[in-house]
């Protein structure tokens, strides 16, 4: 009888485990729940109080603007959209990564999403909250903002349904509503775990209310899987539609620099690009502050997210170059002026070559190109993709570059349009600057509260990617790399409450 042949997977083809150091189910529950159950650390207060102060300053600036009018901003008749709409598009873009990670990667069975999807979903909600501030105060009379909705009124005034500004209202509100449902649905099993682990009666009562009577039965898991799958399917087109609708605010106009059909895919790619950078921007410090997360958010997760940033950054770079080509090939002298003079200018002017640049915001354009196109190219090197310091620095460059992208699109197109006699320079006022800084305080304050009172990592989904979750797993055998059983990986094998470890 011939000897049996044992086939082994080559080392270079083996996949790194999604949970390092072979951690067990109870270890995952203990370490993630400990963040919520432990006393509030001093560093949390040291970060939260300054962020809350910035948020308060931002709210005071908003109140000052509402009471005094938009004249306290630096906008003028020519540049009617400036920092307010720039910041709106910036925050909406950041909110895209959470739903992308949760919905699209879930539908494509990308298991590595499980350690980061909860924080990304929370980031989405808080970013959309910050984005919603700016259109509300931009109308000047914020108490009249309800006219945006098609509600019958005594004046017989109806919104213009042909306007993309109205489409924004429906798209953003729908996106926020579905994102809240998606986020909360995924939280229910983990809230039940916190309820069962709670020592105080108050915590048990509060978590019990939000757990909605979850007991982890087979019937509840079936209903949960179906609801989560339907919400994921509903969220997927929203990821693509929301920022496309935002781009229509510009693309449907005839203004040079805005009137182009490349905007919808270009905006969506840019939103994913900036959103993933913001996810890493908040997850890497969280990983540093909570060392127990090292085995859950591994270098493999960071490597994969850096690859997505590299891919979407390359798409964004292609869109920038295609815009220049369209401006040249289209033979529209106004479009050509906007790109080659108002934005690009003469890059060799500082070396004494050629005519002086006529643009006012060339520096912003070159900051955008450097941060969004050149800086992500270092991710072609794997050692940089897995170096936390390098990744964090590049993500900060991307965050800055994505804000400059929106600034360049909006301000340079408006400041120098068709008629030179109507050109007007724009610079932000202190109220605008501190309002924008205040939204960062709101965003970080909300995220810190989320980290403190809710599990920032989805415990039951992380357990689902463990080899033990496979129905065919046998101790001592190489774990299967096939898809997990069921939508979430044999949920009936994965206890959602502490009492079933």
**Mean pLDDT throughout 458-468?**
81
Average pLDDT across the chain, whole number: 82
CB atoms within 10 A of CB 482: 8
**Top-confidence residue, 268 or 154:** 268
* The pLDDT of residue 317 is above 80: yes
3-state secondary structure (DSSP) of residue 369 = helix
**Mean pLDDT throughout 415-444?**
86
Angle between helical axes of 25-37 and 164-197 (0-180°, round to 10): 110
Radius of gyration of the CA atoms of the chain, in A: 25
With CA atoms as reference, report the closest residue to 28 among 452, 494, 481, 460. Answer: 460
* The pLDDT of residue 324 is above 60: yes
Of all residues in the chain, the percent with pLDDT exceeding 70 is 89
pTM comes to 0.85
* The pLDDT of residue 67 is above 70: yes
What's the pLDDT at 495? 42
Instruction: Count Cα neighbours of 425 within 13 Å in the Cβ-side half-sphere.
Output: 5
CB atoms within 10 A of CB 262: 14
pLDDT, tens digit, 9 for 90 and up, residues 202-238: 988 999 999 888 898 899 999 999 999 999 888 888 8
pLDDT, tens digit, 9 for 90 and up, residues 41-60: 899 999 999 999 999 999 99
Contact criterion met (CB below 8 Å) for 474 and 459: no
Contacts of 297 (CB under 8 A, 6+ apart): 115, 116, 283, 287, 457
What's the pLDDT at 49? 95
Query: 136-164: buried (b, 16+ CB within 10 Å) or exposed (e) per residue?
Result: ebbeeeeeeeeebeeeeeeeeeeeeeeeb
Contact criterion met (CB below 8 Å) for 413 and 341: no
**Mean pLDDT throughout 452-461?**
87
What's the pLDDT at 485? 38
The 3 state secondary structure assigned to 392-431 is HHHHHHHHHHHHHHHHHHHHHHHHCCCCHHHCCCCCCCHH
What's the pLDDT at 476? 58
The token duo for 50 is 């300054």
pLDDT, tens digit, 9 for 90 and up, residues 329-378: 877 888 888 777 777 765 545 444 445 556 677 888 888 999 999 999 99
pLDDT, tens digit, 9 for 90 and up, residues 260-300: 888 888 888 888 898 889 999 998 998 888 888 888 888 88
What's the pLDDT at 403? 92
The token duo for 441 is 């305080």
Contact criterion met (CB below 8 Å) for 286 and 44: no
With CA atoms as reference, report the closest residue to 77 among 483, 380, 454, 421. Answer: 421
User: Residue with structure tokens 């229509």?
Assistant: 248
**Mean pLDDT throughout 68-85?**
83
**Top-confidence residue, 487 or 361:** 361
* The pLDDT of residue 448 is above 70: yes
**Top-confidence residue, 490 or 291:** 291
**Mean pLDDT throughout 65-91?**
85
> What is d(CA 467, CA 141) in angstroms, rounded to the nearest whole number?
57
What's the pLDDT at 253? 84
* The pLDDT of residue 31 is above 60: yes
Q: Grade residue 3 by pLDDT with cuts at 50, 70 and 90.
A: low
Alpha helices in 139-217 (DSSP H): 164-197, 201-210
């Amino acid at each position: 009888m011939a000897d049996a042949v044992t086939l082994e997977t080559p080392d270079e083809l083996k996949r790194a485990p999604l949970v390092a150091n072979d951690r067990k189910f109870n270890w995952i529950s203990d370490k993630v729940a400990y963040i919520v159950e432990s006393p509030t650390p001093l560093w949390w207060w040291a970060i939260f109080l300054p962020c809350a102060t910035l948020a308060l300053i931002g709210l005071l600036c908003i109140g000052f603007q509402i009471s005094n009018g938009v004249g306290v901003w630096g906008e003028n008749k020519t540049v009617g959209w400036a920092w307010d709409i720039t910041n709106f598009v910036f925050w909406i873009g950041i909110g895209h990564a959470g739903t992308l990670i949760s919905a699209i990667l879930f539908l494509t069975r990308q298991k590595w999403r499980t350690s980061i999807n909860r924080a990304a979903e929370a980031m989405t909600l808080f970013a959309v909250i910050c984005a919603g501030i700016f259109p509300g105060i931009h109308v000047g009379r914020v108490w009249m903002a309800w006219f945006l909705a098609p509600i019958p009124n005594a004046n017989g005034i109806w919104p213009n349904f042909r306007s993309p500004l109205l489409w924004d209202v429906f798209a953003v509100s729908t996106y926020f509503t579905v994102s809240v449902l998606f986020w909360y649905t995924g939280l229910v099993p983990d809230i039940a775990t916190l309820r069962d682990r709670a020592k105080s009666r108050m915590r048990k009562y509060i978590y019990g209310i939000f757990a909605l009577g979850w007991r982890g039965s087979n019937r509840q898991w079936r209903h949960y899987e179906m609801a989560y799958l339907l919400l994921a399917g509903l969220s997927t087109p929203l990821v693509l539609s929301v920022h496309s609708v935002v781009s229509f605010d510009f693309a449907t106009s005839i203004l040079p620099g805005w009137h182009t059909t490349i905007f919808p895919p270009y905006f969506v790619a840019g939103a994913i690009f900036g959103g993933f950078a913001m996810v890493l921007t908040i997850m890497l410090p969280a990983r540093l502050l909570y060392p127990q997360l090292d085995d859950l958010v591994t270098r493999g997760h960071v490597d994969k997210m850096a690859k997505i940033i590299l891919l979407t950054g390359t798409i964004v770079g292609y869109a920038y170059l295609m815009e220049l080509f369209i401006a040249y090939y289209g033979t529209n002298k106004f479009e050509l002026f906007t790109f080659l003079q108002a934005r690009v200018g003469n890059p060799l002017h500082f070396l004494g070559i050629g005519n002086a640049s006529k643009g006012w915001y060339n520096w912003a354009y070159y900051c955008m190109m450097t941060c969004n196109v050149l800086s992500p190219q270092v991710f072609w090197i794997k050692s940089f993709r897995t170096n936390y310091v390098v990744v964090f620095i590049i993500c900060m460059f991307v965050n800055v570059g994505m804000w400059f992208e929106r600034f360049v699109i909006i301000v340079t197109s408006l400041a120098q349009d068709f008629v030179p006699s109507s050109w007007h320079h724009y610079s932000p006022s202190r109220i605008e600057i501190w309002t924008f800084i205040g939204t960062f305080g709101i965003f970080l304050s909300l995220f810190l509260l989320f980290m403190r009172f809710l599990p920032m990592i989805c415990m039951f989904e992380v357990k689902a990617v463990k080899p033990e979750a496979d129905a065919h797993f046998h101790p001592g055998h190489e774990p299967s790399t096939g898809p997990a059983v069921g939508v979430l990986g044999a949920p009936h094998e994965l206890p959602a409450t502490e009492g079933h470890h």
